[in-house]
Amino acid sequence: MQVALEPFLRAHAAQQGWGIADALSPIAPHDNPGRLYEFYRSTNEHQVENEVRNALKYNNNSRLAPKEAAAWTEIFVGYWRAIGEILRAEEASNQGRLRDRQLVDVYEAWKELTNQIVRQISNGNLPPWSLICMYHTANYLRMFAIKADEQLAKVKSNVAFSSGFQDDIVSTVARNEKLEETARILNKMFSLCLGDRNPDMGSSRKWGTYYMANLQFKTYFKLKNISLSRNIVRTIAVQTDLPPFEQFPTAHRVTYKYYVGVIAFLQEDYSKAETCLTEAWDHCLPESTRNQELILTYLIPCRLITKHNIPSQTLLSSYPHLQRIFGPLVTCIKSGDLSGFDNALAAAEDEFVKRRIYLTLERGRDIALRNLLRKVFLAGGYEELKEGQTEANRVRKTRIPLAHFATAFRMGTGGEGSGQSLEDDEVECMLANMIYKGLMKGYISREYQMVVLNKKGAFPGTGV
């Protein structure tokens, strides 16, 4: 046990929070894949508490005060028990003999360790920089909860009468039972950080506020409970004694702005969503391509609505997944291909619905329609020059027959053989909607069956 706890003692002596968190990791390091087995086999249930206490108290490298040594003893005893459950589950899984509740046992053991750390921090038995250990164990608690719920769901489905209507089956096992329990523990941790009244900001738990908020966001999104996520945002917004946002770690700030942006997006507050997502994008590390992809997943449809902007092919080419789902849509919007837009939207419907961006992207059809109408306008050519005028005085024709737009509509939706037949009144209604939405400027003359467009800025945002 002395050897097993040596990395912890070195990290503690150097006040390295992440070093201590690594010593409490449920995953063995790459350079020492047998560390978990060595640690667990170094003692047994009857001797673990005494051996941990002696290793921490009587080690020559130990600088722990008696109160803190007692706290770390309880934590490492809990860690030893959790590692035992993890190793047993791994061995059983490798042999194909995983018991029905074995992953639940892993979760329960890790939950005890997590609660132990929360208690010791709350009682002031651990130094302020040990807050990182709480981050670490909380993050793994969420992962173990998801795996435990997956196993419980599998057990439930094995006894279900119909896989198609499982929500209607009465069961003693709640859906996402362990993840919901984890959410309550995370909320306690969040309150522990946010409610710290230590006047010394250098040792305040408030520095963990945004990290814990981000873990709650991830958990609530998994539980599909966005309203609780909004509560977190409101709670933080009214705090007057938090350190300036810019002083928190960049990773905490980027993740927080991403989730606040997504929450605003889901509330259709696209202006706020664009602001938050843009800030997250601007501060995201260049090498964090996965995070950049997640941000763009919402920023692209957001800017489509707020500014009628579409991403360039250069940008999309850097993210193959986004290129696959957004690329066809972008091409169709640019060309005004309404039929192609509908097909591209349907092709990636599952992904768009999963990300909750389908309805927002569907509004992009208006931009495709605007570009189609713009083509009709450009095809109309120029007014004839009057006497004394030069090419510099040439202006485009602004009186376009309704029939021209009707033809473009029918061609854009697949032509006469597409099964879509548009009446003239429908075409007129669609044009009126485009004018009402500000995507086209002008008015409709029903008497002359003409669309009269503005001479300057007929199609805002397109340069004509």
How many whole angstroms separate alpha carbon 429 and alpha carbon 317? 38
pLDDT confidence of residue 281: 96
**pLDDT beyond 80 at 173:** no
**pLDDT beyond 90 at 119:** yes
Question: 415 pLDDT band (50/70/90 cuts)?
Answer: low
What is Dmax (Cα atoms) for the chain? 107
Rounded mean pLDDT of 330-353?
Answer: 92
**pLDDT beyond 80 at 299:** yes
Min mean pLDDT across 201-210, 249-258, 407-416 is at 407-416
H/E segment holding residue 445 = strand 442-445
User: Dihedral sign, CA of 120, 122, 128, 129?
Assistant: positive
Q: Within 13 Å of residue 54, how many CA atoms lie on the same side as its CB?
A: 9
DSSP letters, 39-100, are HHTT--TTTHHHHHHHHHHS-TT----HHHHHHHHHHHHHHHHHHHHHHHHHHHHHTT---T
How many whole angstroms separate alpha carbon 258 and alpha carbon 299? 10
84 close to 44: Cβ distance less than 8 angstroms = no
How many whole angstroms separate alpha carbon 450 and alpha carbon 279? 45
Compute and round to an integer the Cα radius of gyration of the chain. Answer: 30
Min mean pLDDT across 52-61, 300-309, 402-411, 432-441 is at 52-61
How many whole angstroms separate alpha carbon 142 and alpha carbon 248? 23
Question: 347 pLDDT band (50/70/90 cuts)?
Answer: very high
Rounded mean pLDDT of 348-352?
Answer: 93
**pLDDT beyond 50 at 166:** no
pLDDT confidence of residue 75: 95
How many whole angstroms separate alpha carbon 414 and alpha carbon 172? 53
Question: 168 pLDDT band (50/70/90 cuts)?
Answer: very low
Highest mean pLDDT among 230-239, 373-382, 455-464: 230-239
How many whole angstroms separate alpha carbon 358 and alpha carbon 342? 12
pLDDT confidence of residue 275: 96
**pLDDT beyond 80 at 5:** yes
**pLDDT beyond 80 at 144:** yes
pLDDT confidence of residue 418: 41
pLDDT confidence of residue 218: 95
Q: What single-letter DSSP state applies at residue 392? A: G
pLDDT confidence of residue 172: 44
63 close to 57: Cβ distance less than 8 angstroms = no
**pLDDT beyond 50 at 199:** yes
How many whole angstroms separate alpha carbon 226 and alpha carbon 262? 10
How many whole angstroms separate alpha carbon 305 and alpha carbon 98? 49
Residue 95's alpha-carbon distances to 85, 90, 158, in angstroms, are 15, 9, 21
Tokens linked to 322: 């986004």
Q: To the nearest whole percent, how much of the chain has pLDDT over 90? A: 58
**pLDDT beyond 60 at 255:** yes
**pLDDT beyond 80 at 171:** no
Tokens linked to 158: 């094995």
How many whole angstroms separate alpha carbon 164 and alpha carbon 49? 49
Rounded mean pLDDT of 227-244?
Answer: 92
pLDDT confidence of residue 341: 93
Query: What backbone torsions phi and psi does residue 422 show, to the nearest 5 degrees?
Result: -105, 125
233 close to 263: Cβ distance less than 8 angstroms = yes
**How many Cβ atoms sit within 10 Å of the Cβ of residue 238?**
6
pLDDT confidence of residue 380: 85
Which residue would you say has higher pLDDT here, 414 or 43?
43
pLDDT confidence of residue 105: 95
212 close to 114: Cβ distance less than 8 angstroms = no
The overall average pLDDT reported for the chain is 88
126 close to 76: Cβ distance less than 8 angstroms = no
Rounded mean pLDDT of 39-59?
Answer: 88
H/E segment holding residue 409 = helix 402-412
Question: 207 pLDDT band (50/70/90 cuts)?
Answer: very high
pLDDT confidence of residue 100: 82
197 close to 121: Cβ distance less than 8 angstroms = no
Question: 142 pLDDT band (50/70/90 cuts)?
Answer: very high
**pLDDT beyond 90 at 159:** no
pLDDT confidence of residue 141: 97
**pLDDT beyond 90 at 230:** yes
Q: What tens digit of pLDDT does each residue of 176-194 get?
A: 899 999 999 999 999 999 9
**How many Cβ atoms sit within 10 Å of the Cβ of residue 24?**
21
**pLDDT beyond 70 at 354:** yes
Which residue would you say has higher pLDDT here, 386 or 273?
273
Q: What tens digit of pLDDT does each residue of 368-414 get?
A: 999 999 999 888 888 777 777 677 677 788 899 998 988 888 877 76
Min mean pLDDT across 105-109, 116-120, 334-338 is at 334-338
Residue 296's alpha-carbon distances to 98, 206, 255, 310, 350, in angstroms, are 39, 30, 13, 11, 18
- Give the SS3 label for residue 257: helix
**pLDDT beyond 70 at 122:** yes
